[in-house]
Amino acid sequence: MQGDYALGSKLGGKRVGIIGLGNIGSLIAKRLDAFGCIISYNSRRLKDSVPYRYYPDVRALAAESDVLVVACALNKETRRIVTGDVLDALGRDGVLINIGRGANVDEPELVRALQDGRIAGAGLDVFEDEPNLPAELLSMDNVVLTPHSAVCTSESRSDLREHTLANLEAFFSGKPLLTPVLP
């Protein structure tokens, strides 16, 4: 192998902000903690059971993060929770990772932030209008795209089946759904 290779950056010591410290966000935090990352989070409420710093404001979380991971559900409160202001707070060296829902991020603002160098890069597994995505993202060297495939494992399919059955059971017994779907 020959050529010029870009220098990377070690994961240990990075400040990682997680939007959505539910099941998936908690598992991400646990893994990043093992690498020596400094974890902070934003969630619907403070979780006394975790040792991580809580930020009630997403912009403040982004300002204290090197990497911002979006792992929240999509609802009225989280639609476009990552705005241009949040991306500006993340800063020129910041990286956005979205494995939540595409509509959690203001995609046109993300494209502009990447083009203008307002953030360093993005890793995106979800998009607002799947399977379509902004064409500009396809030609950017500072973006890694995957086709909503983070969930494509046999284990996750089994978990999805169990979760669907639990939602059906809740629905037919008049209990609140575990994961209601927005129209």
**Which residues have a catalytic role annotated?**
101, 130, 148
What is the biggest distance separating any 2 CA atoms in the chain, rounded to whole angstroms?
Answer: 63
Please report the beta strands in the chain, taking only residues with DSSP state E, as ranges in sequence order.
15-19, 38-42, 53-54, 67-70, 95-98, 121-124, 143-145
Q: Answer for the pair 76, 53: CB distance below 8 angstroms, yes or no.
A: no
Residue environment code for 39-57, b if the CB has 16+ CB neighbours within 10 A, otherwise e: bbbbbeeeeeebebeebee
| Token pair recorded at residue 75 | 């609802």
**SS3 at position 89:** helix
Structure-token match 């089994």, residue found: 158
Q: Look up residue 119 and give its amino acid.
A: I
Dist. CA 113–CA 124, nearest whole Å: 14
